[in-house]
Amino acid sequence: MKRILLSGLFILWLSSAIKAEDGYRLWLRYDRIDNPILLKQYRHALTTIDFPATSPILITAKKELLTGLQGLLGETPRPTQTNNTLIVRLQSPDELPRLGPEGFIIRTLTRAGKKTILITAATDKGVLYGVFHFLRLLQTQQPIDHLAITSIPSLPYRILDHWDNLNRRIERGYAGLSLWDWFTLPIYKDQRYTDYARANASIGINGTVLNNVNASPYILTPDYLEKTAALADVFRPYGIRVYLSVRFSSPIDIGGLKTADPLDPAVRQWWRNKTEEIYRRIPDFGGFLVKANSEGQPGPQNYGRTHADGANMLAEALEPHNGIVIWRAFVYSNETPEDRARQAYTEFKPLDGRFHQNVLVQVKNGPIDFQPREPFHPLFGAMPATPLLLEVQLTQEYLGFSNHLVYLAPLFEECLDSDTHQPSPSTDASGHNAVPPSRPPRPSDATPVSATIRGMAGVANIGNDRNWCGHIFAQANWYAFGRLAWETGGANTPYSAAIATEWIRQTFSNHPSVVDSIRQIMMESREIAVDYMTPLGLHHIMAYEHHYGPGPWLANAARADWNPVYYHKADTAGIGFDRTITGSNALEQYAPGARTQWLDSNSCPDKWLLWWHHVSWNHTMHTGRTLWAELCHKYYAGVDSVRWIQRCWTGLRQHIDPERWQQVNMRLAIQEANAVEWRNACLLYFQTFSRQPLPEGAEPPDHSLEYYQQHKIYYAPGTNQ
Ligand code: GCW
């Protein structure tokens, strides 16, 4: 009987252990420290906790601390003779003026022979972030006996943008349906809302835009505002403010007005009333995000007004409540005969200084659209009188959806670190120094993108899939976004490698060889994806509509600027988009110092070449190969490197729990097949122009060009079909 019971218990334990590793816990696993010496040290150092918690955020922080310690130490700290104490305290802002509203200090102190660890901040949010940071130190098995950490976020706005529709479909979402079950809100509050908030708070994300920028007007109806308020109530104790995307024509759509003209008094009044209604329900509401006059969305230009007129009308409504307007600069029109890469700058640069103080302009990292590689957007540093947010995409619309292992932090970091060569901003309007004190000094004449922005927005890759992001490694992109927005650069360069290390240690293992091996995979992965998709500066050559897989031959989209041929311009003479003075001259939108690196096709780095220049198939690259040979080399190297990742992953098998190992393994198999298709399809197609053979001995394409051209994917996720 006893044996049956025991084996029953064992099976129960086993099944719960397996179930526990389905990826749901993200990087907050809090499993018992597996290093016995360290565990002993930690237990010794943390015998009592002194944490007076009164406010909702402090109560959250305390709960999180106790849960974390219980898991990591296998016991709740209890008094012993040594009584080494962990003190968590709010201190008055006068004592800690430098920390600002979100910074924290973690320090080890020795008092009368006893060691004390102090986590302190001037605000309860600071304490919350300090607690999560402390737990991260334990999870990543760092020494805690000489802590002297001061951490202040680089950027005040660290926001996730959900492109979630109210019917729960997610535009460009590849991890299931929207987390927000609008139909059962506001009464039913799914546990996932809390777990989502925990995950965000743990990495410093302090805002969330709940709905798609292609916004439904119904989000502003009383019913949906009540549902939004319910979510805001769940997120508030985690320091997260809620924002909404709004449709510019809402006064007509749901307000019964005849116009949405931003200069019309009735329209202005409608927005004021609506905004007041929102703040009655959500006193700490963040503000509005607006996509206007872009890809068919209505906007002020429908009435002959400017983007500034539109944004300022909303800004006025939000101002009394301390809310902000986030106005997107992602605008382009196929009716304008101007290189798409130039259009946002042309539109917005003249508006610099014309926006109200509480308007932030949100600019994508590059001038086209979240491609595997783009130069930084020319608006960074070019609008000194306008606070900017950098928008990056975590959901991998152009990077293999949630099927491909692509760690995006190096892409984000490439943008953040790009030198705009614009004058360096000193302090912004609120006196907040845009450059964090914790960042190492840079050459005095450099103004990286990170110094020109007030915040970062990440287009979320989260859905209701059990593991949140579809691919376990896509969780790293959510994680890295938060960590990079908190600290846009670090003493450890590249900072993305340090973030990867943290994530791996919390998500998989602290075992050094496992950490090294996975970090190497992650750090190479973005360049590998560039190689098998869009090497040497190619861009926007993906399949139409769903954007999955290759489609360089496409030439009949509804708009010219949605056609890949518009971007690669391959012909028998060569390939690439001439954006120099002999072409569209998009180059002129950059500061002279930034231009020089790309100006000349002979000195332009290979990785940017076809973005800026149309060059001959026999152009000599920096490697000494011809362009055609280099293109072949890159596509083949990309596929070979995916196979290298597969081999590394196979080597890690005994170190990773079977469920997550297998999940990743299967996705890698998809990635490999996709990479082969990208390579074969692109090379066969470009070969019709280059008229040169594939390299000798190269793996021959397994299908004809026609086969790839006819390969259609129906019902790919993420579109509204
Ligand atoms: O990348 C493109 C996407 C659209 C998206 C748009 C945008 C929300 O293909 O789906 O619309 O960008 O950023 O507004």
* Confidence at residue 492, expressed as pLDDT on a 0 to 100 scale: 63
Q: Which of 369, 374, 561, 677 is catalytic?
A: 369
Separation of alpha carbons 205 and 180, rounded Å: 18
**Residue nearest ligand 1's atom 2 by CA:** 369
From 369, 393, 542, the mutation candidate for ligand 1 (largest count of ligand atoms within 8 A of CB) is: 369
- Quote the ligand 1 centre to 466 CA distance (angstroms): 25
pLDDT at 273 > cutoff 70: yes
Both tokens of residue 654? 């005994």
Separation of alpha carbons 246 and 319, rounded Å: 17
DSSP secondary structure letter of residue 243: E
Q: How would residue 189 be classed by pLDDT, with cut points 50, 70 and 90?
A: very high
261 pocket-lining for ligand 1 (C-beta < 6 Å): no
Separation of alpha carbons 313 and 315, rounded Å: 5
From 169, 171, 290, 540, the mutation candidate for ligand 1 (largest count of ligand atoms within 8 A of CB) is: 171
Both tokens of residue 252? 């007509």
274 pocket-lining for ligand 1 (C-beta < 6 Å): no
- Quote the ligand 1 centre to 545 CA distance (angstroms): 11
320-348 per-position pLDDT tens digit = 999 999 999 999 988 888 999 999 999 99
* Confidence at residue 532, expressed as pLDDT on a 0 to 100 scale: 98
pLDDT at 686 > cutoff 90: yes
Q: How would residue 83 be classed by pLDDT, with cut points 50, 70 and 90?
A: confident
Opening angle at CA 708, ends 540 and 684, nearest 5: 75
397 pocket-lining for ligand 1 (C-beta < 6 Å): yes
- Quote the ligand 1 centre to 471 CA distance (angstroms): 21
Q: How would residue 435 be classed by pLDDT, with cut points 50, 70 and 90?
A: very low
* Confidence at residue 437, expressed as pLDDT on a 0 to 100 scale: 42
351-407 per-position pLDDT tens digit = 999 999 999 999 999 999 999 999 999 999 999 999 999 999 999 999 999 999 999
- Range 203-221 average pLDDT: 98
pLDDT at 506 > cutoff 50: yes
Separation of alpha carbons 527 and 638, rounded Å: 8
Q: Which of 161, 164, 374, 397 is catalytic?
A: 397
Q: How would residue 569 be classed by pLDDT, with cut points 50, 70 and 90?
A: very high
214 pocket-lining for ligand 1 (C-beta < 6 Å): yes
Identify whether the C-beta of residue 68 lies closer than 8 Å to the C-beta of residue 105. Answer: no
| CA–CA distances in Å: residue 374 to residues 82, 316, 484, 537 | 57, 35, 19, 7
- Range 495-515 average pLDDT: 97
- Residue 34 appears among annotated catalytic residues: no
Identify whether the C-beta of residue 698 lies closer than 8 Å to the C-beta of residue 636. Answer: yes
pLDDT at 439 > cutoff 50: no
Separation of alpha carbons 356 and 261, rounded Å: 18
291 pocket-lining for ligand 1 (C-beta < 6 Å): yes
Beta-bridge partners for 170:
164
**Residue nearest ligand 1's atom 3 by CA:** 172
Ligand 1, atom nearest to 370 Cα: 1
- Quote the ligand 1 centre to 543 CA distance (angstroms): 15
Nearest to 228 by CA among 274, 180, 192: 180
Query: Is residue 154 helix, strand or coil?
Result: coil
Q: How would residue 417 be classed by pLDDT, with cut points 50, 70 and 90?
A: very high
* Confidence at residue 436, expressed as pLDDT on a 0 to 100 scale: 44
From 214, 290, 333, 364, the mutation candidate for ligand 1 (largest count of ligand atoms within 8 A of CB) is: 214
Separation of alpha carbons 287 and 436, rounded Å: 25
Both tokens of residue 362? 């949100």
From 162, 170, 172, the mutation candidate for ligand 1 (largest count of ligand atoms within 8 A of CB) is: 172
Q: How would residue 47 be classed by pLDDT, with cut points 50, 70 and 90?
A: confident
Identify whether the C-beta of residue 463 lies closer than 8 Å to the C-beta of residue 170. Answer: yes
Both tokens of residue 413? 């970091």
Share of the chain above pLDDT 70, in %: 93
- Quote the ligand 1 centre to 716 CA distance (angstroms): 16
- Quote the ligand 1 centre to 712 CA distance (angstroms): 21
* Confidence at residue 114, expressed as pLDDT on a 0 to 100 scale: 83
Separation of alpha carbons 234 and 485, rounded Å: 23
- Residue 319 appears among annotated catalytic residues: no
Question: Which residues, other chains included, contact 476 with Cβ-Cβ below 8 Å and sequence gap of 6+?
Answer: 407, 409, 500, 503, 507, 522
- Quote the ligand 1 centre to 252 CA distance (angstroms): 24
- Residue 295 appears among annotated catalytic residues: yes
Separation of alpha carbons 96 and 102, rounded Å: 11
Tell me phi and psi for residue 628, to 5 degrees: -60, -45
Separation of alpha carbons 440 and 67, rounded Å: 35
- Quote the ligand 1 centre to 169 CA distance (angstroms): 14
Beta-bridge partners for 390:
363, 456
398 pocket-lining for ligand 1 (C-beta < 6 Å): no
CA dihedral 505, 509, 511, 514 (to 10 degrees): -90
Separation of alpha carbons 481 and 476, rounded Å: 8
Q: How would residue 110 be classed by pLDDT, with cut points 50, 70 and 90?
A: confident
The secondary structure element, H or E, covering residue 88 is strand 85-90
Least reliable range by pLDDT among 33-47, 487-501, 590-604: 487-501
Tell me phi and psi for residue 352, to 5 degrees: -60, 130
Question: Which residues, other chains included, contact 233 with Cβ-Cβ below 8 Å and sequence gap of 6+?
Answer: none
562 pocket-lining for ligand 1 (C-beta < 6 Å): no
Q: How would residue 581 be classed by pLDDT, with cut points 50, 70 and 90?
A: very high
Separation of alpha carbons 477 and 468, rounded Å: 12
* Confidence at residue 434, expressed as pLDDT on a 0 to 100 scale: 44
- Quote the ligand 1 centre to 364 CA distance (angstroms): 11
- Range 66-76 average pLDDT: 93
Both tokens of residue 543? 């399949």
Cis check: omega of the bond before 535, within 30 degrees of 0: no
- Range 56-66 average pLDDT: 97
**Residue nearest ligand 1's atom 13 by CA:** 330
The amino acid at residue 344 is A
285 pocket-lining for ligand 1 (C-beta < 6 Å): no
What is the chain's alpha carbon radius of gyration, rounded to the nearest angstrom? 26
Mean pLDDT for the chain overall: 93
246-269 per-position pLDDT tens digit = 999 999 999 999 999 999 999 999
Ligand 1, atom nearest to 214 Cα: 8
23: Cα within 13 Å, side-chain hemisphere: 22
Helix 409-417 vs helix 474-486: crossing angle, to nearest 10: 30
Share of the chain above pLDDT 90, in %: 88
The amino acid at residue 646 is Q
pLDDT at 17 > cutoff 70: no
Compare 110 and 127 and report the one with higher pLDDT.
Answer: 127
